[in-house]
Amino acid sequence: MNAQAQGYINSVNGQIATIQIEGDIYPQLFEILISPKDSNVILEVFSQSETKIFAQILSSPDKLFRGMPIVGTGSDLKVPVGKAVLGRAIDLFGQPRDNAGAIAQDKKASIYSKAPPLSLVRSQYQILQTGIKAIDFLTPVQKGGKVGFIGGAGVGKTILLTELLHNITLQQSQTKEVFSVFAGVGERIREGQELYQRLEQSQVLSKTVIVLGQMNENAAIRFRVALSAVTQAEYFRDQLKSDVLFFIDNMFRFVQAGNEVSTLLGTIPSEQAYQATLQTEISTIEDRLIPTENGAITSFQNVYVPADDISDAGVTTVMSFLDTAIVLSRSVAQKGIYPPIDLFQSSSSAFSKTLLGEEHFKALIEFQKLLENYNKLSHIVAIVGEEELSAENRILYNRTNKIINYLTQPFFMTENQTGRKGKIVPKNNTVKDITIILSGSLDNIPAERFMNIGSLSEGGILK
């Protein structure tokens, strides 16, 4: 056995411990350190000077004391992976948090694996159907891409994320084996519990791994739990050669945890007081969530917007990695429109005729023209009322209103709250329905009839 680094704790500052090294052997970056005095103590090397090590405390800081002996393990953090963790809720270390017994840890992987080389990367020129009309029509998702749900508190990011997890896993599991990984980073404990119960009730939990590091955990754990979840997704892609759906709630909390750790280390802050290493830290996650020749990882990421300021440096840095940005608007949500997608700020890289097909592309272009006109007319309507519009403008205004209402949808995840049964609508049905509305053949039907229905035939509008 190789000799390991030895030392003792010099000081503790929040979630950072300063360790004085004794001897000539120094631990490696990210190496796990333990204490012979207490087997529950777990530290991770974060940075070092000539004589001292700065380590993140991954266990309870209350157990540490000055002079406590510390030894290296010669290894970074490894977690159990594979089918043994499917259907389970685990923490950063792979320990169960669902009271469902121990997990067989026959396969383990480091949470610090590197991004695949460029030669293995394969772009997937294919649209991934979500069953959610507004997303499939307005901001289509590319298989193997990165999708962000961006919005302030209480606009429905988590509901939308869990609805997607349910819909896509349910649809794809009928045709091929697909796995889902959910990373809870810095969010409420209640949401983790509700997610577990919802997935269990909808029978998609058996194909899902839930990795939790919620807001009650210290910053060091919240900062690393996302990497632990990425490791689960990589194993399914690389070893089982499967497609993977990766969900993270919330990416901004990951940024926030890194900022807390950086502050405790006393590093010089950058723009808007964020850590100077912000871009690098986000890329350690994003660069691993890519499609390869083995399979595709499609990631869906919630991004909290502090004070509804979308220009926040942390938010814009995350957005720079996204292929599809779905901005959720508080003003739209207040009108009772769900999902409350901001039609003007949201965007998708899959907006091309080749990917979407002729019919979808044509309908989307026509709707965008109507929407631009609708935005201008809305200002007039707000001031003088709809009656003052010309007959032609009134028809176009109402037609656009019908499509906006049609793009609302009852969710499976909110059935208990709304009393409306959730709907999955295939993309082809959505495009055909909107094409019919655009044709003007439904102009005589009130716009209210289009709210919270599935397809037009399900809503009783088309016989």
DSSP-derived pairing of the beta strands 52-57 and 38-48? antiparallel
Of 44, 187, 191, 234, catalytic? 187
At a CB cut-off of 8 Å and minimum separation 6, what does 233 contact?
179, 181, 244, 246, 289, 297
Measure the CA–CA gap between 308 and 328, rounded to whole angstroms.
10
Q: Which amino acid is at 329?
A: S
Q: Which amino acid is at 110?
A: S
Of 63, 83, 122, 188, catalytic? 188
Q: How far apart are the first and last CA of the chain?
A: 76
Q: Which amino acid is at 154?
A: G
- Specify whether the CB–CB gap between 36 and 71 falls below 8 A: yes
Of 146, 157, 237, 423, catalytic? 157
- Specify whether the CB–CB gap between 348 and 355 falls below 8 A: no
What is the three-class DSSP state of 44? strand
Q: Judge whether 187 counts as a catalytic residue.
A: yes
Rg of the Cα trace of the chain?
Answer: 25
Half-sphere exposure at residue 123, Cβ-oriented, CA atoms within 13 angstroms: 6
At a CB cut-off of 8 Å and minimum separation 6, what does 384 contact?
none
Q: Judge whether 157 counts as a catalytic residue.
A: yes
Measure the CA–CA gap between 329 and 277, rounded to whole angstroms.
30
Q: How far is CA 169 from the centre of its chain?
A: 15
Measure the CA–CA gap between 234 and 226, rounded to whole angstroms.
12
Structure-derived torsion over alpha carbons of residues 10, 14, 16, 18, reported in degrees to the nearest 10? -10
Q: Judge whether 399 counts as a catalytic residue.
A: no
Q: Which residues are catalytic?
A: 157, 187-188
